[in-house]
Amino acid sequence: MHHSIAIAKLALLLATAAVSRGFFVVAHAHARKSCWPREREALLALKQGINDTDGVLTSWQKLRHDCCRWTGVACSNETGHVTELDIGLNWLFGQISSSLLSLQHLEYLDLSTTSLVGPNGSSVFPDFLSSLHNLRHLDLAGTPYSGRVPARLSNLSNLEYLDLSGTSLHGHAPEFLFSYKNMRHLDLAGTPYSGRVPSRLSNLSNLEYLDLSNTLFSGTLPPQLGNLSNLRHLDLGYMQNIHTADVSWLTHLHFLEHLDMSGINLGTADMFPVANTIPTLKDLILSNCSLPNANQPLKHLNLTRLEWLDLNRNHLRHRIDTSWFWNITGITHLDLDETYLHGRFPDALGGMTSLQFLSFAYNGNSATMMVDMKNLCDLELLRLDGSLAFGNITEFLRKLPQCSSNKFLSLLSNHNNMTGMLPDMVGHLTSLEQLSLSNNSITGAIPSGLRNLTSLYGLDLTLNQLTGQIPMLPRSLTRLAISMNSLSGPLPLDFGAPDLTDLSLFSNCLAGYVPRAICELKNLSLLDLSNNLFEGEFPWCSAMPSMEFLILSNNNLSGNFPSWIQNSSQLVFLDLAVNKFYGTLPMWIGELVNLKFLLLNHNMFYGDIPANITNLILLQYFSLASNNISGSIPSSLSRLIAMTLEHPKRGTRWYVQEVINKDILSVVMKRQNMKYDIYRINEMYGIDISLNHLTGGIPDEITSLNGLFTLNLSWNHLSGKIPTNIGDMKSLESLDLSRNNLSGEIPTSLSDLTYLSSLDLSYNNLVGRIPTGRQLDTLYAENLSMYSGNNGLCGPPLKKNCPGNNDLEHGDQQRRESGYDPVVFFYFGLTAGFVAGLWIVFCALLFKRAWRSAYFRLFDKLHDNVYVFVVVTWGMITSKTTTS
């Protein structure tokens, strides 16, 4: 969090500084005097220590004498001395040289976001900067300095501008920072400075810009801040644990334009009346401030210059139209997410003609939007996710602006209980870039007018009741999700959108052959056609180099294992389960080195398990269940290191988060709707090769896969003993070896599997005493048949005594230790076949309304056991990045 804000800041910095940079270059082009040799040498020495991979400093050359014309350098046009050095915002590594000391006339130094460490390669703040006495402007934002600022820095008595944001300077902010009487701009954002907010800040009476956001300052806000009467920009957002009941000091800041107090508990402060005494305010950012309401009557509204108002995450819970801000027509940005405002949007909204962003998401589905927004020609984002009680999409779209001047519009109205049909006039909303309407009750066909939306790149209609076929798509479209609808018919022979990267059509009633047109989509990285009625062979696509997620499960597809996949080396997730694929598994499968999930269950594959499969060192879940696979289990299993605890990131909470964010979320969830539960998919570490014709023994090597959660080898012809070290598979929660020809005794180490919550050893030829152990005893109580069909087994918990032995008493049946919850797995295996049957029934039922609702209730129930549908729409998340 900390980090991302700092980064966002730097990005902003980058944008603003790029502009000013251009200015400097122009300015010193007029310089007359050539530079001083001593200063030129100093700059060259500086360059020596820098690794300049981007060639930023290529103009810095001995032969180009006039160093005043070098990139980032500016000189006084009277003396010729270097006065400015601006090499910030570049990709520069290395060390900064103390040769800089020769630039005694330097007034302006910008090293921001470079990775230049101190002269000794240490990240200690470079002390010699304190000797550049003429410095007025020092920008070290985002540099790698840590530790403390040397006290000598206080010698820079002319300093007007100091930016230390995003550095790792820590401890208490040094007192001398508050002694620069000329200081106008002080930015400490994102530094880990801690302690109380220093009241001595109020000494900096010339300060116009103060940013303490995202620091670790805590405690109350000193009212002395009111002495900073020249402040224009005050950012106190998201410090550590700040509270204040008194904000009256703000009334002294007569020039304040930007105020951010996000994250500060202002629950008892009289915030809005105080803000209303500052008519200069343009930005008022009070996100997550525990504000109780925003409907105080403000007798005279002073805030007529307000442009940016952010009240998100304050639980205001009153009527929308009673809020004080609706008459301010200059507002460009209004963020009301998670405010729980309810009721009708006031008509005044239609008059807020400057509005560019309106975000009103996650407000508990109790608002209604009937406002005519035709005049909001600057609108770029309208986001209402999870906030409307109902709405008619036909009427809603008709009220949107259709201005020719409108640049781009993203409309996000997911989870809003909207009904009606998508009108053909949607084609008039030519500025639409994103249209996201997932999880509503929109009916009818997808209108062909959509094709006219020449800017549309994202369309998400997941989880509605759309029928008919997929029409010709807008050419600009890159992401399309229409999963979980009732679309029927074949796929189009031409999608019309050659740049599609994501195509998600799962859970519809699409049928017929998959057309070759799919192969024309060269940029496709996600293709999900699962849960449809496709049949025949998947076309041979010569090159799909970007494919990462190929999900074709639960159709009637046939043919050999698609050989073109060999060229899709980026593949992470391959799901061909529940189809009629046949033939042998290819040797080259081991070349798909990025594969993490390989689901081939419920097909008709035969032959051996290719040994090369163990080359897939990222593989974490693998199912071949219910095929006709024969031969033995490859013994090189120990190479599947993703299935071991040694896998670098395994086993920590952080890891799960990381993977969700990085791998799955960014690639799929951010932009797609997936049927696998994202919170569980990363917990899927397993091997399922049940229901095949495997012979031979269980290789001992399998016990090195100590990261596996499930292992299912049931219903094969495996013989030999259960590996003695089975107890090494510490993570196992489910172990099924039933219905094989396993012999010998049950290894006692089995009782070491403390996470085991499901065990089945039935119908083998196991003999001897059953090992005891708390966990095993508990499991038996839950599954009394787990040892059945093994006539040679004896001892408790079975009634049968072992020959010539008294049985020991069992220990108490203790509950499982630790707070570790057993992971519930998807039944990719056995039940999926059952679902295949269901899907056909489901599609048939789509057209019999009366039956549907009753059936759905049943279906939902079954569903829970099969796929967990988690609908996360990319629309929601992309817009989050746009607004923040």
The half-sphere exposure of 309 on its side-chain side, counting CA atoms within 13 A, is: 28
> Of 785, 590, 584, 600, which is closest to residue 689 (Cα–Cα)?
600
- C-alpha–C-alpha distance, residues 666 and 659, integer Å: 9
Among 424, 494, 520, 646, binds ligand NAG (CB under 6 A): 424
Nearer to ligand NAG, 465 or 758 (CB): 465
Hunting for tokens 């605890």 — which residue is that?
A: 645
Q: What are phi and psi of 258, to 5 degrees?
A: -125, 120
> Does 814 participate in binding ligand NAG (rule CB under 6 A)?
no
Asked if 371 touches ligand NAG (CB under 6 A), the answer is: no
Member of 148, 305, 319, 428 binding ligand NAG (CB under 6 A): 428
User: Which residue, 175 or 646, is less far from ligand NAG as judged by CB?
Assistant: 175
38 binds ligand NAG (CB under 6 A): no
Q: Which of 71, 104, 122, 558 binds ligand NAG (CB under 6 A)?
A: 122
Backbone angles phi, psi at 635, to 5 degrees: -90, -10
Residues 127-156 contacting ligand NAG, CB under 6 A: 131, 151-152, 154-155
- Closest CB to ligand NAG among residues 241, 417: 417
**Binders of ligand NAG among 49-108, rule CB under 6 A?**
51, 53, 77, 93
Contacts 24+ apart (CB under 8 A), 748-752: 749/724, 749/725, 750/722, 750/726, 750/776, 751/727, 751/775, 751/776, 752/727, 752/728
Tell me how far, at minimum, the Cβ of 303 lies from ligand NAG, in Å: 9
Residue 447 or 796 having the CB closest to ligand NAG = 447
Q: Is 445 in the site for ligand NAG (CB under 6 A)?
A: no
Query: Residue 690 CB, nearest distance to ligand NAG (Å)?
Result: 24
Residue 849 binding ligand NAG, by CB under 6 A: no
Which tokens belong to 800? 């049968």
Q: For residue 104, with 0-12 CB atoms within 10 Å meaning exposed, 13-18 middle and 19 or more buried, which class applies?
A: middle
Residue closer to ligand NAG (CB basis): 571 or 729: 571
Q: Residue 471 or 539: which CB sits closer to ligand NAG?
A: 471
Count of residues engaged in binding ligand NAG, rule: CB under 6 A: 45
- Minimum CB distance to ligand NAG, residue 234 (Å): 16
Q: Residue 563 or 813: which CB sits closer to ligand NAG?
A: 563
Minimum CB separation of residue 105 from ligand NAG in Å reads 13
Q: Is residue 48 near ligand NAG by the rule CB under 6 A?
A: no
- Alpha-carbon distance of 173 to 192, in angstroms, equals 9
- Residue 149, phi then psi, degrees to nearest 5: -80, 130
The answer to the question of residue 801 lying near ligand NAG (CB under 6 A) is no
> Which DSSP string corresponds to 625-673?
-SSEE-S---SGGGG-GGGSTTSTTTTSHHHHHHHIIIIIIIIIITT--
Q: Does 883 sit near ligand NAG (CB under 6 A)?
A: no
How many whole angstroms separate alpha carbon 551 and alpha carbon 574?
6
279, 330, 496, 512: which one binds ligand NAG (CB under 6 A): 279
Least CB distance to ligand NAG at residue 280 (A): 9
Question: Least Å distance between CB 47 and ligand NAG?
Answer: 13
656 binding ligand NAG? (CB under 6 A): no
Pair of tokens at residue 319: 């009527």
Whether the bond into 198 is cis, omega within 30 of 0: no
Give strand ranges (E) for 249-346: 258-260, 283-285, 308-310, 333-335, 343-344
Least gap, CB of 275 to ligand NAG (angstroms): 9
Task: With beta carbons less than 8 A apart as the criterion, state whether 69 and 59 touch.
Answer: yes
Number of CB atoms found within 10 A of residue 737's CB: 24
> 161, 182 in Cβ contact below 8 A?
no
Residue 349 CB, shortest distance to ligand NAG, in Å, is: 11
Q: Which CB, 278 or 761, lies closer to ligand NAG?
A: 278
* Exposed e or buried b per residue across 144-166, where buried means at least 16 C-beta atoms within 10 angstroms of its C-beta: bbbeebbeebbebeebbbbbbbb
Q: Does 651 bind ligand NAG (CB under 6 A)?
A: no
How far, in Å, are 31, 100, 495, 644 from residue 78 at the CA level?
Answer: 8, 21, 66, 69
**Pattern 594-633, ligand NAG, x by CB under 6 A:** -----------------xx---------------------
* CA-closest candidate to residue 458, choices 500, 511, 498: 500
Q: Which of 146, 194, 199, 277 binds ligand NAG (CB under 6 A)?
A: 277
Q: Which CB sits closer to ligand NAG, 8 or 587?
A: 587
Determine which residue in the list 7, 25, 44, 301 makes contact with ligand NAG, applying CB under 6 A. Answer: 301
Is 588 a binding residue for ligand NAG by CB under 6 A? The answer is yes
30 binds ligand NAG per the rule CB under 6 A: yes
**Closest C-alpha among 263, 348, 356, 339 to residue 301:** 348
Q: Of these, 296, 354, 394, 724, which contacts ligand NAG (CB under 6 A)?
A: 394
Residue number with CB closer to ligand NAG (119 or 789)? 119
- Shortest Å distance, C-beta 81 to ligand NAG: 12
Min. distance of Cβ 612 from ligand NAG in angstroms? 4
d(CA 50, CA 661): 34
Nearer to ligand NAG by C-beta: 428 or 774? 428
Residues in 527-556 at the binding interface with ligand NAG, rule: CB under 6 A: none
Residue identified by tokens 């009427």 is 395
Question: Is residue 293 part of the contact set for ligand NAG (CB under 6 A)?
Answer: no
Of the ranges 42-50, 204-212, 388-396, 834-842, which one interacts with ligand NAG (CB under 6 A)? 388-396
Q: What is the three-class DSSP state of 853?
A: helix
Does residue number 365 form part of the binding site for ligand NAG (CB under 6 A)?
yes
> Of 105-113, 117-125, 733-741, 757-765, which part binds ligand NAG (CB under 6 A)?
117-125
- Binding part of the chain for ligand NAG, among 264-272, 276-284, 666-674, 683-691 by CB under 6 A, reads 276-284
Cα dihedral: 735, 741, 742, 743 (round 10): 150
Residue 829 CB partners (closer than 8 Å, separation 6+): 601, 602, 623, 625, 626, 688, 690, 691, 712
Q: Between 449 and 796, whose beta carbon lies closer to ligand NAG?
A: 449
353 touches ligand NAG (CB under 6 A): no
Closer by beta carbon to ligand NAG, 90 or else 579: 90
Q: What is the helix (H) or strand (E) element at residue 604, kind and residue range?
A: strand 604-607
Rule CB under 6 A: is residue 124 a binding residue for ligand NAG? Answer: yes
CB of 394 to ligand NAG, least distance (A): 4
- Are 21 and 139 a contacting pair, CB within 8 Å? no
C-alpha neighbours within 13 Å on the C-beta side of residue 135: 26
Q: Which is nearer to ligand NAG, 186 or 450 (CB)?
A: 450
> Given candidates 304, 327, 666, 783, which one binds ligand NAG under the rule CB under 6 A?
327
CB 360 within 8 A of CB 337: yes
Residue 471's identity, in one-letter code, is P
Give yes or no for residue 302 binding ligand NAG (CB under 6 A).
yes
Q: Rounded distance, CA 255 to CA 208, Å?
A: 9
Rounded CA gap, 437 and 414, in Å?
5
865 binds ligand NAG (CB under 6 A): no
Residues that bind ligand NAG (CB under 6 A): 30, 51, 53, 77, 93, 120, 122, 124, 131, 151-152, 154-155, 276-277, 279, 298-302, 324, 327, 348, 365, 389-390, 392, 394-395, 417, 419-420, 424-425, 427-428, 449, 452, 587-588, 590-591, 611-612
